[in-house]
Structure 1
């Protein structure tokens, strides 16, 4: 049977009392069927975490600012403009993550990522979400009151004016007040439960960059650079392209396989640390099979709707179970080297494709 030139991966993780990403607290969406809030980490954040886990050099991004009314006091304002990528796929983050650069007076260069990555969301609406009740936090530095500074301002003629220490001390005594170096953060949301994410790897474009000039993926100078670095001219289903050299492909395949298995949310939006440990992984060239393999099912054993996780070993997908699976599913036992086996499976799968001939090696 002919293989599909894609690798689909579903991962099941457990999160405990944590925050993935923030937008007035933990990001969430509302599930209309069960009427519950669903915590999630965006696909962009998952992709960024995977790219960081590659542990390969990043391309340098240029961040642009524009100052209006420069030199005119009280009228100057700085506005951030669109950051510019070098659009250089010799860097792994550009090759795998994609890029786009659009400037006025120049043409647009764009590469779509060969990795399609979903949000990390609950396995089932009833198996993960926002904790209740919310939590109040304290940013407290009262243990060293002399070390930290407290600034107090008064409003005079619509302007903030710093109150001098002597005047402030007098005000505190007269008004019988204290102003501690402590801040309260109210109604903070946390997430717990079983969460899944899905990844699709397009082997046709994984290491191929189009040389089409109508919808360009490369600037002429970058194309020349790639050719000089040994990129091979070939052709895929989308047309003529340049193929990453074999030794570079080997390095990236090993790094990508490790990153897909071992990524962690490491951005400054993640707080209240959770291991977010992996319970199971399913892989196939058929997207339906990974959905069948790891799923949540409604249970009719109670009056209130409840759900249970399911690992279906008859789905036809390759399934890798860690020892943690027995903590959520009775009768299942995993292996301590499951993640190493999963990583090797990805490496072998990606190496089994002939990127020059655009077909699997028989």
Structure 2
């Protein structure tokens, strides 16, 4: 059995924002000479972990913020520490890093068992960025309150404001916001789950992932001492795995990105999901193909019968891609397949695997 599960997701986004950096995060594609909108892997990971904590109805792990006061009495920002405790699901699946200053304590680091790509266009010709000018207009509200401050921070009177605006075509109840970028198109996103690390946390004292106190606490909670290819480790108990596997599958299948700008909301519906233990096949399972007959035109392709790949196509997909196996229960079936693959893995006593 393979040690890795690969998942590719195809989503449709319409006139929306993934992140508000300069209107919309984007990168330049030199082959097709255009900018491509994207959502970073970190943003996708945050979305998945948010969904996970919602599914299991548990508060995420606490974060420690350290501040330093210098000799002048000024407060400065120091390190930010994760709890480094895998009994929290967001830490177990999200990983952590703790590197205290001074070198008196060992650095604690756990790589996430989830490798998460950015969500980017399936093809440069099948996604894009458009720009619009928007306004924040409240000129129709007679009860607006306008405050104008002078150079020293003093509040100007109505007479001073009227004098200031004399001869100027300027509204104080309307703001013009130019060049707001919006993303539209078909987007793919990939996740690789390393099953060897999914529920196992390394206890190697030379490369520690946890301190001794946390290790002892986990043993008391029923974590199992074991070994795998990475060395000695603690494995999450079976009851914990049985609770978290369906929750993780739910989060990977149903994660979504919401914008903090309500006017740009998009369902970002999932069109298809493919699952495989073969990275090369998962790359070809949802792709785009250039048209030979027409220049600068590409067509999206979902391989519905690719050997070694489980393909799940939603009803929405047929509106954008020719399909023959769309199913109203496609996402639930994808979740069941993911749960089955994770549950069938032998997490304990994998000394040589």
Instruction: Extract unaligned runs of 5+ from structure 1.
Output: none
The reply on whether 1:153 has 2:149 as its aligned counterpart is yes
* TM-score, structure 2 normalization: 0.92
Distance 1:31 1:171, change over 3 A: same
Root-mean-square deviation (CA, aligned residues, Å) is 2.0
C-alpha contact 1:325 1:333 (8 A) present in aligned 2: no
Distance 1:49 1:201 in 2: 16
Alignment-derived partner of residue 122 in structure 2? 123
The Cα offsets for residues 196-250 of structure 1, whole Å up to 9 and x where unpaired, read as 0000000000000000011100011111110111100001110000000111111
1:65 aligned to which of 56, 63, 67: 67
Correspondence for 2:18: 20
Q: Is the 8 A contact 1:41 1:119 kept in 2?
A: yes
The question of whether the paired residues in 2 share the 8 Å contact of 1:290 and 1:315 is answered with no
Deviations 1:40-69 (A, max 9, x none): 000000011001111232101122334546
* 1:91, distance to aligned residue in structure 2 (A): 0.2
Aligned counterpart for 1:196 among listed residues 180, 183, 188: 188
| Worse-matched range after superposition: 138-147 or 122-131 | 138-147
Q: What are the residue-to-residue correspondences of 1:137-286 with 2, within 5 Å?
A: 137-147=134-144, 149-155=145-151, 160-172=152-164, 174-175=166-167, 179-266=171-258, 268=260, 272-286=264-278
1:136 equivalent to 2:128? Answer no
Asked whether 1:86 is paired with 2:83, we answer yes
Do residues 315 (structure 1) and 306 (structure 2) align?
yes
8 Å CA contact 1:172, 1:178 repeated in 2: no
Alignment equivalent of 1:336, drawn from 319, 328, 331: 328
Task: Please give the secondary structure, in 1, of the residue aligned with 2:248.
Answer: helix
Distance 2:47 2:3 in 1: 24
> Residue by residue, what CA displacement relative to the aligned partner does 1:184-204 show, whole Å, maximum 9, x if unpaired?
211010000000000000000
Determine if contact 1:145/1:181 at 8 Å carries over to the other structure: no
Cα distance per residue 1:121-179 (max 9 Å; x no partner)? 00111111212xx11121233333534x4332332xxxx33233244245257556654
SS in 2 for 1:49: helix
Contact 1:20 1:271 (C-alpha < 8 Å) held by counterparts: no
Task: Please tell me whether the aligned partners of residues 317 and 323 of structure 2 are also in contact (alpha carbons under 8 angstroms).
Answer: no
C-alpha change, 1:137 and 1:61, in structure 2 (3 Å) is same
SS in 2 for 1:152: coil
Contact kept in structure 2, 1:18 and 1:270, CA below 8 Å? no
Per-residue deviation, residues 88-121 of structure 1 (Å, max 9, x unmatched): 0000000000000010232100000000000000
| Among 306, 321, 335, the residue aligned to 2:297 | 306
CA 1:67–1:146 in structure 2 vs 1: closer, same or farther (change >3 Å)?
farther
CA–CA distance in structure 2, aligned partners of residues 271 and 115 of structure 1 = 32
Counterpart contact for 1:118–1:197, Cα < 8 Å = yes
Distance (whole Å) between structure 2 residues aligned to residue 178 and residue 189 of structure 1: 25
Q: Distance in 2 between matches of 1:267 and 1:245?
A: 37
2:43 is the alignment partner of 1:41: no
1:248-294 deviations in Å (ceiling 9; x for gaps): 11111010000011111136478611111011111001111111111
1:346 and 2:342 equivalent? no
SS in 2 for 1:341: helix
